[in-house]
Chain A
Amino acid sequence: MNIAPARGSRILLAAIPFFLIVMVYIVGSAERRAANPEDKLLPPISEMADTTKRLALEPDRRSGDYVLWTDTAASLQRLLRGLGISTLVGLGFGLTVGLLPIAGASFGTIVAVISMIPPMAVLPILFIVFGLGELSKVMLIIIGVAPCLVRDMSIEVQNLPREQMIKAQTLGASTWQVAIRVVLPQIMPRLIKSVRLMLGPAFLFLISAEAIAADVGLGYRIFLVRRYLAMDVILPYVAWITLLAFILDLLLGLFARKTFPWAYVEEPR
């Protein structure tokens, strides 16, 4: 408990599990290839690298697109739109519901109920109402993510010490001024934290929507090549999606630390 690794060994320790997973995969893949040269389940890394190179650097024979990049662009656009709108909704509604008792009484319960609707269950409705285009996929992410953010934000607002609201009023602040100068900045770190946690669900909704009805996108590609058991495409795609999510998470974390230093003063790392 009291032995903490230094910076260098921390990186080394973090790399060990990754290294082990890769080793296990290489050994497993080699074993299967030795037993069956046609094996498709665990393609060797060289094969996956070739496929990735083809998808990323060569235009598709049929459409002329660089498949990996068009898929990534389409998916990221959907994801960021969905998350962006959810964040705005979460912040706006959450702040209002948390700060104003009248808004809390009116909308608190309905938000709690809506956040319990399983988003996948309403996916067919979304496809029917919004069509099979981009809108229904963005809407799925919003429906899945926004209510949770609203609840989280309103709870965060209510957790602010009451003394601060009174203090602000004794300094002459109106409700609007309290909202923008006292409450808003103080819930921003929590908002970013919640959005980071919501990246996982957002990707889940995105891939699901793409798997069911899309003509481009990371999830679409995975579910397309699944029919041919093309693990050499699926595995790099999964790794790529993971990397994207990880980078988004990292960027949000860095942004929060940079923009709201006061919220991290007491944290050691």
Chain B
Amino acid sequence: MSALSFRNVWVEYGSQIVLERINIEIASGTFLSVVGPSGAGKSTFLRLILGQERPSQGAVLLDGEPFPAEPGPDRGIVFQRYSVFPHLSVLGNVLVGYEFEQRPLTARLFGAARRHAIEKSQAMIESVGLAEHRDKYPSELSGGMQQRLAIAQALARRPRVLLLDEPFGALDPGTRTQMHALIKPLWRDLKMTIVMVTHDIREAFGLATRLIALDRVRRDPQAQERYGAKITYDLDLTRDGAVPVLGFLKTSAETG
């Protein structure tokens, strides 16, 4: 279970309003794409779920419960860059998650516990196709392989929600297609909720079961920052048919 709900969420920095009146219920097991122009608060939206940022008003709930305002193991993340630890090998990068979990003081595993954790890590590494690179350092891997490692690493702790912050933005189109083919079955098998921020519209439609677009609907030419972004489109991509069901959110239609 890993349903997310945003209840009347506002994010403001001083007089600058980034997000306003965000209301959305994300069902458990959804693959949600978030699109929108630069500066529309997509990353802020993600950071709210991550716990890196608190809403100025309203609440973000995970399975109906508020969660601590700091990143934790129930929410995994893959960033566009810097997602893996350069000082650890491929195996070490995945293994470290188990080491954090089981050894609060030393964060290192030895003996049987280590062998067991290595087995689990090995399975994760194989599932993203990096088995023959397990002893290499990230700087020896290509960009696509680094992102695959980041995904394996994020999935090792079985997060309830996986957040993807433009994860494939820096990859070439071929590699990107490979990554799409990789992430979809993983999502299906692990039955988690994925929230992906992306600039690539094809990617957003191709992978997700639901898509939201964030944008500023009102503009004040004298004070650009006085109106925040809202959810302007909320599309259900699981329905059959050429055009997905398309609708403004009720709240934003009423007050927008």
- Give the nearest-CB partner of A160 in chain B: B82
Question: Hey, which chain B residues are within 8 Å of A168, CB to CB?
Answer: 85, 96, 100
Contact A260 B87, beta carbon cutoff 8 Å:
yes
Q: In the bound complex, how far is the Cα of B140 from the Cα of A167, in angstroms?
A: 20
Contact A167 B77, beta carbon cutoff 8 Å:
yes
Contact A170 B75, beta carbon cutoff 8 Å:
yes
Residue B50 at the A interface, CB < 8 A? yes
Contact B137 A181, beta carbon cutoff 8 Å:
no
B192 CB to closest chain A CB (Å) equals 13
Stretch in B13-21, B34-42, B154-162, B216-224 touching the partner: B154-162
Contact of A181 among B73, B96, B140, B154 (CB under 8 A): B96
Known contacts A163-B81, A172-B97; is A262 also within 8 Å of B139 by CB? yes
Contact A164 B82, beta carbon cutoff 8 Å:
yes
A sample of 6 more A-B contacts (CB under 8 A), given A261-B137, A263-B86, is A170-B50, A170-B72, A170-B73, A171-B153, A172-B157, A177-B104
Contact A185 B87, beta carbon cutoff 8 Å:
yes
Residue B71 at the A interface, CB < 8 A? yes
Residue A8 at the B interface, CB < 8 A? no
Question: Hey, which chain A residues are within 8 Å of B156, CB to CB?
Answer: 171
Contact B140 A177, beta carbon cutoff 8 Å:
no
Contact A173 B86, beta carbon cutoff 8 Å:
no
Question: Hey, which chain B residues are within 8 Å of A186, CB to CB?
Answer: 85-87
Q: In the bound complex, how far is the Cα of B100 from the Cα of A45, in angstroms?
A: 62
Question: Hey, which chain A residues are within 8 Å of B87, CB to CB?
Answer: 185-186, 260, 262-263
- Give the nearest-CB partner of B79 in chain A: A163
Q: In the bound complex, how far is the Cα of B89 from the Cα of A261, in angstroms?
A: 11
B226 CB to closest chain A CB (Å) equals 28
Which residues, 188 to 210 on A, are CB-close (under 8 Å) to B? Answer: none
Known contacts A171-B157, A173-B100, A186-B86; is A166 also within 8 Å of B139 by CB? no
What class of interface size applies to chain A in its complex with B? 20 to 34
Q: Which of B50, B86, B107 has the most CB of A within 10 A?
A: B107
| Nearest 8 pairs of A and B residues by beta carbon | A172-B73, A161-B82, A169-B71, A163-B82, A171-B97, A262-B137, A177-B107, A173-B100
Question: Hey, which chain B residues are within 8 Å of A166, CB to CB?
Answer: 50, 52, 71, 77, 79
Question: Hey, which chain B residues are within 8 Å of A177, CB to CB?
Answer: 100, 104, 107
- Give the nearest-CB partner of B102 in chain A: A172
Residue B215 at the A interface, CB < 8 A? no
Residue A265 at the B interface, CB < 8 A? yes
Residue B99 at the A interface, CB < 8 A? yes
Q: In the bound complex, how far is the Cα of B158 from the Cα of A170, in angstroms?
A: 11
Q: In the bound complex, how far is the Cα of B70 from the Cα of A182, in angstroms?
A: 18
Contact B140 A182, beta carbon cutoff 8 Å:
no
A176 CB to closest chain B CB (Å) equals 8
Residue A180 at the B interface, CB < 8 A? yes
